[in-house]
Structure 1
Amino acid sequence: MAENTTLTYDRPSTGRGSRGIGLLKGPVRSVWLLHRRALLLFGAYLVLSAGSLVWLRFIAPGEELGPCGSLGSDLPPCGPPPLDSMFDFAGNLGAVAFAIAWLPLAVAFYAGAVLVGAELERGTAGLSWTQSVTPGRWLAAKLAVPAVLLLSGVTVLSLLYRWVRGAGAKALGDQWYFTDVFLALGPAVLAYCLFALAVGALAGLLVRRALPAGGLAFVVTAIVMLFADGRRDRLWPTADVVWRNSRGELPNSALQMENGLVVAGKRVERCWDPQVAMPPGCHSGSGIREWYAVFHPSSHFWPIQLVETGIVLALAAAATFAAFRVLRRLHA
């Protein structure tokens, strides 16, 4: 009786564990191989920015550099740091804040032009889909790898920026409500990075050409960021204060929204300084004057940050959902 020499092969397991391993070794590895130059460029950006922040921390004016004394003593004179030192510190720290705050624009262009748009234009995405990688896993890996790198890297930069800013606060002329400072200090910039990534992927799937997709993602992200910047002060209820018979002053850290005089029980914004000529209607019959101001104190930083972060994360989730829906229709 002849032996049965038929060879049999075990089919690879299709359980959840093997799918997870395949996702790690397949699409994620493909993202690294195809986009390693961009990922290395982002790594260089992180190293340069972090190194600049650490350097600024150790040259921050206003630190305790040793004992000081009055004129005529043997100790160095006490007083504010030199103007050139303050300018160098504030200017360089402002440049780093700008690089952190507006990173989402670069992310949007990269995601639209390179991450998704270029692969669809060249046809490499379709080739991947004919292999063992499904379109859904392909897009998930395209979004997951940059998202993890962005979240971890920008978090480190934001914490470093907060550390450096706290060390040299006396030498700074900007405040928490300045656009670059506000974004660099909190989690809102992380939400904008995720939003930019999702918008870039969606633009790439819709346009399917590299440069137009990148430009569209850049413009949409810029519009959203500028729109939010112009309406940020409306995200949380303001505080107000009234001074009687003597005009007070708000601290420099307060974001002033409105000010004026209380005339006949009504707030008139045009009426402010009684020492200058004021429009008709600013003078009351009595000699009692009340000044008012509407503002956001520095304690409103975190409420505004968290509200804006939540809104942008919701937009990012909507853009991600839309990207998967468009991908499904393309592959149908």
Structure 2
Amino acid sequence: MNFSSLTGPRFVFLPHRRALLLFGAFLALSVAGLVALRAAGPGAVAGPCGSPGSGLPPCRLPLPSLFDYPGSMSSVASVIAWLPFPVAFYAGAVLFGAELERGTAGLVWTQSVTPARWLAAKLAVPAVVLTAGIGLLSLLYRWARNAGAQALGDEWYYTDVFVALGPSVLAYGLLALATGALAGLLLRRALPAGGLALAATGLVWLLFDLWRDRLWPTADVVWRDSRGEVADSAWQMENGLVTAAGQRVEQCWDPHVAMPPGCHPETGIREWYAVFHPSSHFWPIQLVETGIVLALAALATFAAFRVLRRLHA
């Protein structure tokens, strides 16, 4: 028997071939949908369209073109951004927890395969698959989004859009895999390990959602004599008035009233301010978040190897 095959890709894939086929079918459908959305994008920017006899310009694709472009793009962003969650549960419950619970892993370890080599293979092969699959979807999403960006109602800083557009979604996928391994080794039971991995990944995802605006210094602008405006694509953190004493009064303007009642505690206010992230901050924030999440994934992987070593000390 060739023991080296027990740590190869075939060894990892065979017990999970159904999940792999399901993931492949999901990727194929997603790619087809994104290609179709890319084709529908220019028509969505051009304006509403309809079928013959509707009184509207004819659609580029058969109507109702099967797509509500803005709504479909928003849904696609959510699907891509939330992919790490099923990955976390599957890794914890099936890829690691179930094998340890049933004793399958222990059987492999008796076949001249070290536990460390087993764990390395169980992490490396899915990591390659996830990186390729999620990376492809993220790139295609950006490609399809660029075709009709003017017709979209969501901005780059919306949570799902932000995660789906950049490498952070890959980092979350690898974090989900690593936390699944750690949870499986700690609990050695399928469902509890899947739940723990899901909760840990969700906690990191939520914390970044709450603190993402703090990952990069904000821009600050002050207008004198009349209130100005920042770009529609800007992610606004604060806006308000500046008193004569230099104090900033946050959230103290109304788009329909020049100076709302109670928003000028001192006379002579002639300054307005805004604190925001311009769209140019997308990549700095993305890279900082990606780096931190990858570091957490590396830490979880290191902890998994330490737990495995302790189990077999």
Whether TM-score is above 0.5 comes out as yes
CA RMSD of aligned residues (A): 2.3
Query: Which of 108, 117, 132 is the matching residue for 2:97?
Result: 117
Q: Which residue does the alignment assign to 1:331?
A: 312
Q: Which residue does the alignment assign to 1:7?
A: none
Query: Which of 92, 111, 116 is the matching residue for 1:136?
Result: 116
Q: Which residue does the alignment assign to 2:191?
A: 211
Q: Which residue does the alignment assign to 1:70?
A: none
Unaligned 5+ segments in structure 1 are 1-11, 13-20, 66-75, 78-83
1:63 Cα offset (Å): 7.2
Q: Counterpart of 2:41 in 1: which secondary structure? A: coil
Q: Counterpart of 2:68 in 1: which secondary structure? A: helix
Amino acid of the residue matched to residue 261 of structure 2? M
Q: Counterpart of 1:278 in 2: which secondary structure? A: coil
1:61 Cα offset (Å): 3.7
Instruction: Tell me, yes or no, if structure 1 residue 54 matches structure 2 residue 13.
Output: no
1:279 Cα offset (Å): 2.6
Deviations 1:256-307 (A, max 9, x none): 0000111022211143246454337x24333x51110000000000000000
Q: Give aligned-pair identity as a percent.
A: 70
Query: Is the 8 Å Cα contact of residues 112 and 200 (structure 1) preserved in structure 2?
Result: yes
Query: Which of 136, 145, 150 is the matching residue for 1:156?
Result: 136
Amino acid of the residue matched to residue 243 of structure 1? W
Query: Which of 1, 13, 21 is the matching residue for 1:40?
Result: 21
1:179 Cα offset (Å): 0.6
Once residues 111 and 3 of structure 2 are traced to their aligned partners in structure 1, the CA distance between those partners, rounded to angstroms, is 13
Amino acid of the residue matched to residue 167 of structure 2? P
Query: Is the 8 Å Cα contact of residues 88 and 201 (structure 2) preserved in structure 1?
Result: yes
Rg larger in structure: 1
Q: Which residue does the alignment assign to 1:93?
A: 73
Query: Is the 8 Å Cα contact of residues 86 and 171 (structure 1) preserved in structure 2?
Result: no
Cα gap change, 1:325 to 1:307, in 2 (>3 Å): same
Once residues 64 and 154 of structure 1 are traced to their aligned partners in structure 2, the CA distance between those partners, rounded to angstroms, is 27
Q: Counterpart of 1:231 in 2: which secondary structure? A: helix
TM-score by length of 2: 0.89
Amino acid of the residue matched to residue 29 of structure 2? L
Instruction: Tell me, yes or no, if structure 1 residue 249 matches structure 2 residue 229.
Output: yes
TM-score by length of 1: 0.84
Q: Which residue does the alignment assign to 2:49?
A: none
Q: Which residue does the alignment assign to 1:278?
A: 261
Once residues 186 and 148 of structure 1 are traced to their aligned partners in structure 2, the CA distance between those partners, rounded to angstroms, is 18
Query: Is the 8 Å Cα contact of residues 62 and 171 (structure 1) preserved in structure 2?
Result: no
Cα gap change, 1:129 to 1:54, in 2 (>3 Å): same
1:180 Cα offset (Å): 0.7
Q: Which residue does the alignment assign to 2:284?
A: 303
Q: Which residue does the alignment assign to 1:240?
A: 220
Query: Which of 298, 301, 314 is the matching residue for 2:295?
Result: 314
Once residues 232 and 68 of structure 2 are traced to their aligned partners in structure 1, the CA distance between those partners, rounded to angstroms, is 22
Q: Which residue does the alignment assign to 2:53?
A: none
Q: How many residues align?
A: 295
Cα gap change, 1:64 to 1:268, in 2 (>3 Å): closer
Once residues 132 and 87 of structure 1 are traced to their aligned partners in structure 2, the CA distance between those partners, rounded to angstroms, is 54
